[in-house]
Structure 1
Amino acid sequence: MDLLVRRRFLPAGELGRPGSEVCITGNAVRMLLRFGYTKHPHLKPAIDWLVRHQKKDGGWHCFRSATGTLDCWEALAAFAALPRVSRSPEVVRSIERGAEFYLKRSLTREGPAPYRPWFRLHYPVHYYYDLLVGLDVLTSLGYGDDRRMRRALDRLEAMRNRDGSWNLDAHHPDSEDPNYRVRGPFYPLGLEVPGRPSRWITTTALSVLQRAGR
């Protein structure tokens, strides 16, 4: 981790290269926090960078866009991993704006028609979004009792198997966007079998429902 941080974090805060993507920097910040690097000198510049790159509508976007997208969840997930006592007023405000962005859209409403991959459950998620990703982030931030979460929570409960488990629906990349292209060779990382009960997804789903008081 130290080697990654020393070599890849830039002075402005982003990971990789100038103009890096929010998804990359957000995931890096989340991993630093989860592995206990809460006092690392690169952490605050990276968090500040994520705050600065929030769109006016409260969302984020990995590519050039005036508006945010539900698909860019990594900054909010990074803030969810940040202990409350370590959240600056700027981060708190960014969380509030980001959460509102998702809640206004009921976590899945974007575009002219429902995007079906968002209603399938995946693990690992890499940098992709789905219903459970959104629920995990929002309930971790304390929004489980917001009435605008009900539709997504009801959908998650409806996906539960009779034995109390949830299935892995698909491996990533799982896209129905005709413009989506994978550059170069790729090797899907699958830890479990699609269509079968998933321990990883079941654990996350149960945590979500517990936080939401269900």
Structure 2
Amino acid sequence: MDVLNWLLDSDPAIRWQVLGDLADAPANEISAERHRVATHGWGVRLLQLQGTDGQWDGGTYWPANDDDPNSQPWTATTYSLLLLRDFGLDPASREARHAITLVRDNSRWEAGKQLFFEGEIEPCINGMAVALGAYFGENVDAVVERLGRDQLADGGWNCEAERGSRRSSFHTTICVLEGLLEHERSTGGTSQSRQARRLAEEYLLERVLLRRKSTGEMISPDWLQFSYPTRWYYDVLRGLDYFRATGRNPDERMSEAVDVVRSKQQPNGTWLLENTHPGRVHFALEAGDGQPSRWNTLRALRVFKWFDAS
């Protein structure tokens, strides 16, 4: 299989990233393909599902009128916007500005009824709100300040902190890190937010992205199974792709995680979708678990391009 051509034989949301991250295509070619996200394929399909009230599926974090108390919130506004960010929808495009204006003016969190870009209570959700606000050009400085106050002594965050937990969670921490990085890219951040991000990165690195600091034991075998979309869950591919996105030089403490990802490459050069997080979705982006995954292959190859270059 020619993996690069297989990746390019896909949706604009993947193609423009392959052109930029793997193929070193000219900037005008990358930009033109990215522009198509708003008008072709998954991007326009998802944009068309937004309601006139600004919401997807009638809710900000939880879908409206959901009779299943165990249902996951993948069709509500937050996770729909996270997909549009993953797709690379141009924040300055007419389509993005229309969608975000509707969210900004109408979408309120179920927990406290505050407006979307004012954030929520749990730091994992606030990390998502910061990532989305910063990416789409909305002011989320107050949410960033709150995340700084919520950082735990070990360097990370945990949504259970309000219920007494003093030990950080990889799941929560990666959500916050992605938000702080996006905010820093957009605004430069503050000395406090940059320091918070450095401390949280060290929290992950001290644990080599997958092991307990105290005993060296594997924290969770699920973290060796790669998902897309990642939702609020951590896995080592997501952790490595975050560090790649920072632009920093790789750290030797990432080596075991890199070896895990490298070991999952299939003989045909692809990576599989392994651990889809159950819940209602708008539409499928992959063929299913056990099948070659363009998203995981793209993310793994760009991690290796970054890591091996050093």
- Please report the TM-score for the alignment, with normalisation by the length of structure 1: 0.81
Sequence identity of aligned pairs in percent?
A: 29
The structure 2 residue matched to 1:91, chosen from 193, 213, 225, is 193
Unaligned runs of 5+ in 2: 1-99
Query: What corresponds to 1:76 in structure 2?
Result: 177
- Judging by fraction of residues, say which structure has more helix: 2
Query: What corresponds to 2:280 in structure 1?
Result: 187
For residue 23 of structure 1, report the CA deviation from its aligned partner: 1.2
The structure 2 residue matched to 1:8, chosen from 108, 114, 122, is 108
- Higher relative contact order, chain-length normalized (CA < 8 Å, sep 6+): 1
Within a 5 Å distance, the mapping from 1:1-214 to structure 2 comes to: 1-6=100-105, 7-8=107-108, 10=114, 15-16=119-120, 20-35=121-136, 37=137, 40-41=138-139, 43-64=140-161, 65-72=165-172, 73-82=174-183, 83=185, 86-110=188-212, 113-173=218-278, 186-187=279-280, 190-192=284-286, 193-214=288-309
State how far apart, in whole Å, the 2-side matches of 1:48 and 1:3 are: 25
For the 8 Å contact 1:171–1:190, the answer to whether it is kept is no
Q: Summarize deviations over 1:74-124 as a string: whole Å, max 9, x none.
A: 110112223176121111111110000000001111385541111100011
Report the CA distance shift for 1:209/1:147 in structure 2 as closer, same or farther (over 3 A).
same
Counterpart of 1:109, as a letter, is R
For residue 4 of structure 1, report the CA deviation from its aligned partner: 3.2
Q: Summarize deviations over 1:2-35 as a string: whole Å, max 9, x none.
A: 3433443749x7524xxx1111111121122333
Report the CA distance shift for 1:14/1:54 in structure 2 as closer, same or farther (over 3 A).
farther
State how far apart, in whole Å, the 1-side matches of 2:253 and 2:196 are: 19
Counterpart of 1:99, as a letter, is E
State how far apart, in whole Å, the 1-side matches of 2:199 and 2:219 are: 23
Q: Secondary structure at the match of 2:272?
A: coil
Counterpart of 2:246, as a letter, is L
Report the CA distance shift for 1:60/1:109 in structure 2 as closer, same or farther (over 3 A).
same
Aligned pairs, number: 194
Counterpart of 2:285, as a letter, is L
Counterpart of 1:147, as a letter, is E
Report the CA distance shift for 1:49/1:208 in structure 2 as closer, same or farther (over 3 A).
same
Q: Which has the larger radius of gyration?
A: 2
